[in-house]
Structure 1
Amino acid sequence: KEFKGTCTEGTVINGVQYYSNKVTADGFKPNSTYYYQVKLNGEWQQAQEYKTGDPDNFSFMFVGDPQIGSSYKQKNAESNGKKLGNDLAARNDSYNWNVTLNKAMEQHPEIDFLVSPGDQVSVKGNEDAKDLKEQEDQYSGYLSASVLRNLPQAVAIGNHDCSSASYQNHFNNPNPFLEESTPTPAGNGYFYSYGNALFIVINANNYNAADHKALIEKAIKENLNAKWRIVVMHQDIYGSGLDHSDSDGIILRTQLTPIFDANDIDVVLQGHDHSYARTYQLTSDGQAHDEFLEYKQDQGGFNHDNFDERFEKDGVFRAYYKSQNLCYNIADKSQGTVVNPEGVFYLTSNSATGSKFYNLIPEQQDYVAARSQNWRPSYSVINITKDSFTVNTYDVETGEAIDSSYTIVKK
């Protein structure tokens, strides 16, 4: 069967027009093997294999922040003691990304697709020609991994993806939420289903929680029979990393957790902090919290000492009350296997490439059941059946588990 695609003009970089080519294929059956070809410049390319999974018992690979090019500040023998630079960093990180995917598929051939919570690339590409070219090179490195010819992927928009249209030029997402009132240049949130699981991918770089509420409600309304409701987002509102978990994560925490509770979300998959963390079952505290404020650096009107602050750019801060850190309840501290638990389970992934790692905060938060920073790339394998959701997380190099298995059973 031949599927007709679309070709649209994408980004113009240094006077060169790039094009975005997309095609949507349908009619696939479970547990089947297919072959596909791409016609390029009038010539059919080599056939590639694609296998569909079992919707009643499937597994996906969850990776954190590949962020191709992020190692540019590192030094090694090849760089003669200097920082790597963008070209070498993109090349090295792309190589490590390829290693991670190959090892994961060797260690767990049962994986059916890949999920990333964002930051596929490092350069933000703020419509500057140099940045856009470097970002395009990084997307090329990310997508060059041979595994991705055979493994479907569903990726979120990270804060390094959100500032240009390059993300939407490279990914053909289903059910985009075009009703989003304040989208970023990268595009919109979206949703899809696999078996009895509904995946809702929100663009948390858009701080308008009403948009995410509307997307979640729309996705659920169109998938009322989905047993598992899973949100994928970039910012970790319940992580344990030093750089973000107690800053921009808190801003989103107070706004999003009541929405997750009201819509019976089971799991939230997060990235952003380049460290691994797994929570207990959590609920929001049901209390009203003030929204964050935005103000200029020289703007008065309130006592800054009462706020935590996070610098944005151009002298703009986001501020929020320190007390908002405690806007949750621990609903269930059971480990191993939990049956019909209350609350939402949050998982934050570490770097899948090793391009960048962050320290953990000195004192582990009470909502964190387990965490890890061993300065090595890792990935999680999540298995979903009719009644269970199970997550295991592995060291890329050794294939050994870095945390205990955690299973949610819903009967």
Structure 2
Amino acid sequence: MSLLSVSALLAALVAAPIPAHAEPAHASSTQAEANEESAITDTVLQVGADESSRKLSWMSENSGGGEVRWAKTSELNGSALPDDAESAETTESGLSTDLKRHFNHASMTELEPNTEYSYQVGSEKDGFSDVAQFDTGVAGDDSEFLVFGDPQIGAGGQPDDATGWDRTLNSALETGQDPRFFYSLGDQVNSAGDQGQYEQYLAPEATRTVPQATTIGNHDVASKSYEQHFNRPNVSGDHGGSGAITSGGDYWFIDSGVLFININSNDANTDEHAEFIDEVVAEHGDQARWTVLGFHHSIYSTATHNDDLEVKRLREAIPPVAARNDIDLVVSGHDHIYNRTFLMDAEGKKVASSDAGFEQQKEEGQTMYLTLTSSSGSKFYDYVPGLDWEAKSVHNDVPAFTRVRVSDESLRATTYEVPAEGGTQAASEAIDDVEISRQSDEEPSPDH
């Protein structure tokens, strides 16, 4: 890892998070309205611990006094939030790593299902952001989420990368049917502390209207900027290797009866990750109909990173943990190529009955691994043929995303490419489709 600048170190030390109370309250009628002079930037809507909450992050010019305000859209006064809108103060805030702004984290709680909400963030000093809307959707029925690999804004030239990311995200949202959230698998930016690259990643309107979850990539980890921009739920202080000037932390959440576990694969302590996964599944596994594990460094890619030392260590450590916790699907990025494995066992070997076809019936302890390619087109890696785990690999050097549809009976992952020549609203083209179901006739009965 390269040495960090003195200014980045100073920023990390000065920007120690400032905890604040965050109990919902009624907003004051004297609070500032959103206006053109608002000093709020980089607002991000994110998943909460479950469907009844959403987390937020934003940047402000001034410190202190930050809050989120929200209400049902049906209760708006024209385009403005009502005087009795709910509000919650920031849970943490501090000086950003560029020493120019302040980061803010807050949460919206006690949200009702199948309801459209409106919200804004800000303070008396900075003004408030424009009112934005999101829909909580219907949890627990058939649902879906979107998955993206390595936007890595800045790796291929910021304007083109940002345009590609915006095009792929918009195409995915057009393709999906009211996705509950989208999941970015790391390397959101190319340079960990580059605020301009974060601004480009967060530029699409969907980052404020569709919740997202993120993973820490190797290009994100070397700065506190990742932790400042993303307010993740249930982050462990003991697992995932957050440092004084680096981002980290394993975390989990439940959405629509799916348990999502995310680990920071930049942290080489695989025993800690295993302990985290074991503990989360033991405590929350009975609430889920499916379990999905996400981390950045793909252990079963078909490009050149598959032979890296840190990837080999993960490839030895993850399969037995996935098997004993009956992880159904693992999603990763890092290698800028698309690959789907066969169903794999606890030893990291192909299940004999598994093939490259659409229907894959799994027994307990069997797991499928997906590697997602670049979602922006910033760069791609060369294909490595002949690997034992490859069921389907696509290496067309075209940005792509995966749409995962969830039901009690199956997880269906359909992957689409988004050609650059399609413009800002490019139509997606399916390149792979797989459905995972359970061999047992016994259906899960999650408590959700």
Q: Secondary structure at the match of 1:282?
A: coil
User: Shift of residue 158 of structure 1?
Assistant: 0.6
Match of 2:205 in 1: 146
The aligned counterpart of 2:379 is 356
Q: CA deviation at 1:12?
A: 4.1
SS of the equivalent of 1:65 reads: coil
Of 22, 28, 38, which aligns to 2:105?
A: 22
Q: Structure 1, residues 264-296: CA drift from partner, whole Å, max 9, x if none?
A: 1111101000000001100132xxxxxxxxxxx
Any conservation in 2 of the 1:7–1:19 contact (CA below 8 Å)? no
Aligned partner letter, 2:180:
D
Find the aligned partners of 1:329 and 1:102 in 2 and give their Cα distance. Answer: 35
Q: Deviations over 1:178-203 (max 9, x none)?
A: 11274351120100001211000000
> Residues of 1 paired with 2:95 and 2:150: CA distance?
24
Which letter does structure 2 place at the counterpart of 1:404?
A: D
List aligned pairs for 1:76-95, cutoff 5 A.
89-95=157-163
Equivalent in the alignment of 1:57: 142
Aligned to 1:321: none
Question: Partners of 1:37 and 1:12 in 2: how far apart?
Answer: 24
Report the CA distance between 1:48 and its aligned residue.
Answer: 0.9
8 A contact 1:337–1:409 mirrored in 2: no
Shift in Å, 1:10: 3.4
Distance in 1 of aligned mates of 2:231 and 2:129: 20
TM-score, normalised to structure 1, is: 0.79
- 8 A contact 2:354–2:360 mirrored in 1: no
- Match among 328, 332, 350 for residue 266 of structure 1: 328
**Over residues 8-41 of structure 1, what are the superposed CA-to-partner deviations in whole Å (9 max), with x where a residue is unaligned?**
223443xx34311111111122222111122353
2:351 counterpart residue number: 330
Check conservation: 1:281, 1:344, Cα contact below 8 A.
yes
Per-residue CA distance 1:358-404 (angstroms, 9 max, x = gap): 1110x232221101011111101001112211100111234110113
Question: Are 1:395 and 1:402, in contact at CA under 8 Å, matched by a contact in 2?
Answer: yes
Q: Distance in 2 between matches of 1:10 and 1:220?
A: 35
Contact 1:202 1:212 in 2 (8 A): yes
Check 1:261–1:409 CA distance in 2 against 1; reply closer, same or farther (3 A cut): closer
- Are 1:408 and 2:412 matched, yes or no? no
Give me the whole-angstrom Cα distance separating, in 1, the residues matched to 2:219 and 2:285.
33
CA positional deviation for 1:224: 3.0
**Paired residue secondary structure (2:431):** coil
Report if the CA contact (8 A) 1:330-1:367 is conserved: no
Residues of 2 paired with 1:389 and 1:333: CA distance?
16
SS at match of 2:314: helix
Q: What is the identity, as a one-letter code, of the residue corresponding to 1:276?
A: Y
Contact preservation (8 Å) 2:168, 2:376: yes
> Aligned to 2:285, what secondary structure does the other structure show?
coil
The aligned counterpart of 2:220 is: 161
TM-score (norm 2): 0.72
Can you list the C-alpha shifts for 1:160-195, whole angstroms capped at 9, x where unaligned? 111111110100000001112743511201000012
Paired residue secondary structure (2:351) = strand
> Structure 1, residues 300-329: CA drift from partner, whole Å, max 9, x if none?
xxxxxxxxxxxxxxxxxxxxxxxxxxx534
Listed one character per residue, the Cα deviations across residues 127-185 of structure 1 (whole Å, up to 9, x for unaligned) are xxxxx3xx211111111111111111100111111111111010000000111274351
1:53 deviation in Å? 2.2
- Report the equivalent of 2:8: none
Residue equivalent to 1:45: 129
Aligned equivalents of 1:340 and 1:93: distance in 2? 38
Give 1:218 shift. Answer: 2.1
Letter in 1 for 2:311: G
Q: Determine the C-alpha separation between the residues in 1 that align with 2:284 and 2:437.
A: 21
Residue 289 of structure 1 corresponds to which residue in structure 2? none
Within 5 Å, give how 1:11-410 maps onto structure 2.
Answer: 11-13=96-98, 16-40=99-123, 41=125, 43-55=127-139, 56-71=141-156, 89-124=157-192, 132=193, 135-180=194-239, 182-184=241-243, 185-225=246-286, 226-241=288-303, 243-247=304-308, 248-285=310-347, 328-334=349-355, 335-342=357-364, 343-361=366-384, 363-397=385-419, 398-409=427-438
CA distance in 2 between partners of 1:65 and 1:150 (Å): 21
Contact 1:193–1:199, Cα closer than 8 Å, also in 2 = yes
**Structure 1 unaligned blocks of 5 or more:** 72-88, 125-131, 286-326
Partner amino acid, structure 2, of 1:170: H
Distance 1:10 1:45 in 2: 19
What is the alpha-carbon distance in structure 2 between the residues aligned to residue 227 and residue 120 of structure 1?
Answer: 29
Would you say the 8 A contact 2:97–2:224 is kept in 1?
no
The whole-number CA distance in structure 2 between the counterparts of 1:374 and 1:138 is 26
Which secondary structure does the structure 1 equivalent of 2:268 belong to? Answer: coil
Give the conservation status (yes or no) of the 8 Å contact 1:332–1:341.
no
Return closer, same or farther for 1:45/1:8 CA change in 2, 3 Å cut-off.
Answer: closer
CA contact (8 A) 1:63 1:351 kept: yes
Per-residue deviation, 1:97? 1.1
> Deviation of residue 217 (structure 1)?
1.7
Query: What secondary structure does 1:167 align onto?
Result: helix
**What letter matches 1:373 in structure 2?**
H
Structure 2: distance between partners of 1:181 and 1:229: 19
Change (3 A) 1:333 1:171: same
1: CA distance, partners of 2:368 / 2:97 = 42
- Kindly indicate whether the alpha-carbon contact (under 8 Å) linking 2:90 and 2:104 is maintained by their aligned counterparts in 1: yes
Sort the Cα spacing of 1:163 and 1:44 in 2 relative to 1 into closer, same or farther, 3 A: closer
CA distance in structure 2 between the partners assigned to 1:392 and 1:57 by the alignment: 15
How many correspondences in the alignment?
A: 340
Separation (CA, whole Å) in 2 of partners of 1:331 and 1:348: 21
Shift of 1:222: 2.6
